[in-house]
Amino acid sequence: MRNLVRLFHEVKRYWRVLSLIVFLTACTAGLGLPGPLIVRYLVDHLVAREPFPIHLFFLAYVGVSLASSIVGAALSLTVTYLGQQFKYDMRRKLYAHMQTLSLGFFEKSQTGKLMSNITNDVATLDQLISGGFVTLVSDLVTLCAVLVIVFNMNWYLALWSLSVFPLYIINYMLHIGRIKQRADEIREERDIMLGDLQERLAGALVVKSYAKERYEVRQFVGQNRNLLELNVNQGMLGTRLWTLAEFIGSGLGIAIIMLIGGRQVMAGNLSPGSLIAFVSFITGYLYGPILRLIQINDQIARTNAALTRIFGTLDTQPNIKDRPEAVELPTIQGEVEYRRVWFEYEPGQPVIKGVSLKVKPGQMVAFVGQSGSGKTTMINLLSRHYDVTDGAIIVDGHDIRDVKLSSLRRQVGVVIQETILFNTTIRENIRYGRLEASDEEVEEAARAANIAHVIEALPKGYDTRIGEEGVKLSGGEKQRIAIARAILSDPRILVLDEATSALDSETETLIQGALDRLMEGRTSFVIAHRLSTIVKADMIVVMEKGIIKEAGSHHELLEQGGVYAGLYTQQFKVALDQQRAEAEAQLGSAGAAATA
């Protein structure tokens, strides 16, 4: 119910369109009523063989039909307009709101579900508004008018015709519970099937690698067979309900009107034309509306689920928000300080435990550590995808929670582990870093990321589409485009999270040159597993289970002989052994030469 009130508030602002719709609905309902009365007039005169102005009758009949269909068309267009406008506004609201939500929200929700929020759920609401709502108004108007008319014509017959109603409603009530239950079951089963389908199609590579095609088809068939049975059963229940309803409404209803009404006519209490009008009023204008009014309850229930989901999304507060007094972060030098930072994704499970770290402008910091030690989290905190649980992160003397989010992110460039490119041209993908960049600047960035020669070798060059129906790029090529995109955005603080992991050493070296240039004069944070990438960092931060184990330059850390020294020897053992042997040989021969 609370959802409905909120929906009402959402719809309120269309009150102009809404009042027009109510007006037009009343008109259509009103224009529908004269039909049977006109026919009554005709029948009565014909049965009595009394001459009457036939051309006037013709004009009235055609005129009423015409007017009713014109108003009907206007109504239906207005309703469509309202529906479209509502969907447009609602989708905008939802999508815009989702954009403000923090990364944590998206990590917890499946893309498909968020999408169906914007597409299907909104469409369901529209059905209630432009379907249920409009029929509700027109049904109410029709119902009242018809009741007045039929009771006026002959109250005795009217009562008799209404006598089948209890049966009608009982029939509906008996079925609807089971139908609804079946519908829930179908929805559940369908959701499972959809989820699995999406995953198996996206994971086609795995299915094929393990030759599991037949197994997957069998699973799918199993799920679909369940669905088939549920659907057939549901269809049977529905058919039974409506068949019985038609029998009660049309069959029993008409039979009673003919019997009772016939007697009334013979007794002279009713004209033959009225009898005909009665039949069309009761069957055409009474049973339908009453049933729909009962059903609206059901429709609302169905919409309720969609409403809950939509409002649920709209009510999700972004974890990260600009404070009211947040200021624009001026162009920064790039001094970063982690001040006793604590952070937990889930309460009670800290992943960063009181880390303090000071980085001078222009320094390069490398995070090293096992997977799960908190490296990526450190970086996510800096670009404020999450807020620290305790402590603070200070950039150029500003606590990042006190500045506008957009002004912070504009100055922090991030290249992440999983390369995400969009389904458009290469040029547009690079330009995403800075929308107002000129073509030359885009190409410049591509050159700097060492991808220009690959792009230029393509038949359409920068205008080649990537992704679906486009060219297939290797993992390394994609990553270099992502780097070009970051280069173009020209950030003050640069973050590279495993940005070069998919590159071979040679390409990495080439890019590294570009990155070195890019990092010059900027503060940069790098996460990489390949130590060769890291050794030249100004500061290497070794993380372990959320704390800083060691920090210092490559040489300092080697001398300490701690975790880093261990990692380092591990990776380069063979090379070191070889090198040591050679060096020793050299020293040995030098020594030998010296002694000689």
H/E stretch holding 535: none
Which residues between 388 and 407 bind another protein (CB under 8 A)?
Answer: 406
Which residue, 438 or 570, has its beta carbon nearer to another protein?
A: 570
Which residue, 143 or 329, has its beta carbon nearer to another protein?
A: 329
Helical axes 34-47 vs 54-100, angle rounded to 10°: 160
User: Does position 180 bind another protein by CB under 8 A?
Assistant: no
d(CA 254, CA 273): 15
User: Does position 175 bind another protein by CB under 8 A?
Assistant: no
Which residue, 132 or 261, has its beta carbon nearer to another protein?
A: 261
Stretch that binds another protein, among 162-170, 175-183, 355-363, 371-379 (CB under 8 A): 371-379
- Residues whose CB is less than 8 angstroms from the CB of residue 457 and which lie 6 or more positions away in sequence, other chains included: none
The backbone region for 56, taken as left when phi is positive above 0, alpha when psi lies in -120 to 50, beta otherwise, is alpha
Which residues between 504 and 543 bind another protein (CB under 8 A)?
Answer: 504-509, 529-532, 535-536
Which residues between 278 and 297 bind another protein (CB under 8 A)?
Answer: 279
Which residues between 41 and 80 bind another protein (CB under 8 A)?
Answer: 42-43, 45-47, 49, 51-52, 54-55, 57-58, 61-62, 65-66, 69-70, 72-73, 76-77, 80
H/E stretch holding 339: strand 336-344
In the bound complex, what is the minimum distance in angstroms from residue 124's beta carbon to another protein? 15
User: Does position 212 bind another protein by CB under 8 A?
Assistant: yes
Q: Which residue has the tokens 């809404």?
A: 18
In the bound complex, what is the minimum distance in angstroms from residue 249's beta carbon to another protein? 10
d(CA 58, CA 337): 88
In the bound complex, what is the minimum distance in angstroms from residue 139's beta carbon to another protein? 20
Work out which of 147, 149, 176, 194 binds another protein, going by CB under 8 A. Answer: 194
Which residue, 112 or 297, has its beta carbon nearer to another protein?
A: 112
Full 3-state SS string of 29-89: HHHHCHHHHHHHHHHHHHHCCCCCCHHHHHHHHHHHHHHHHHHHHHHHHHHHHHHHHHHHH
Q: Following DSSP, what letter does each residue of 486-533 receive, concatenated? A: HHHH--SEEEEESTTTTS-HHHHHHHHHHHHHHHTTSEEEEE-S-HHH
User: Does position 549 bind another protein by CB under 8 A?
Assistant: no
Kind of pairing between the strands at 350-359 and 336-344: antiparallel
Which residue, 356 or 532, has its beta carbon nearer to another protein?
A: 532
Work out which of 204, 301, 327, 585 binds another protein, going by CB under 8 A. Answer: 204
d(CA 558, CA 569): 9
Which residue, 187 or 340, has its beta carbon nearer to another protein?
A: 187
User: Does position 305 bind another protein by CB under 8 A?
Assistant: no
Work out which of 157, 265, 403, 519 binds another protein, going by CB under 8 A. Answer: 265
User: Does position 231 bind another protein by CB under 8 A?
Assistant: yes
Kind of pairing between the strands at 364-369 and 523-527: parallel
Stretch that binds another protein, among 7-15, 16-24, 299-307, 581-589 (CB under 8 A): 581-589
Stretch that binds another protein, among 15-23, 155-163, 415-423, 517-525 (CB under 8 A): 415-423
User: Does position 119 bind another protein by CB under 8 A?
Assistant: yes
User: Does position 152 bind another protein by CB under 8 A?
Assistant: no
- Residues whose CB is less than 8 angstroms from the CB of residue 184 and which lie 6 or more positions away in sequence, other chains included: none
Number of residues binding to another protein, judged by CB under 8 A: 170
User: Does position 259 bind another protein by CB under 8 A?
Assistant: yes
User: Does position 258 bind another protein by CB under 8 A?
Assistant: yes
CB atoms within 10 A of CB 419: 19
In the bound complex, what is the minimum distance in angstroms from residue 106's beta carbon to another protein? 5
Confirm if 531 and 572 have CB atoms less than 8 A apart. yes
Reading the block at residue 589, the tokens are 């021969």
CA 372 to chain centre: 29
Confirm if 265 and 148 have CB atoms less than 8 A apart. no
User: Does position 195 bind another protein by CB under 8 A?
Assistant: yes
User: Does position 123 bind another protein by CB under 8 A?
Assistant: no
Which residue, 22 or 207, has its beta carbon nearer to another protein?
A: 207
Residue of 321, 289, 309 whose CA lies nearest to 140: 289
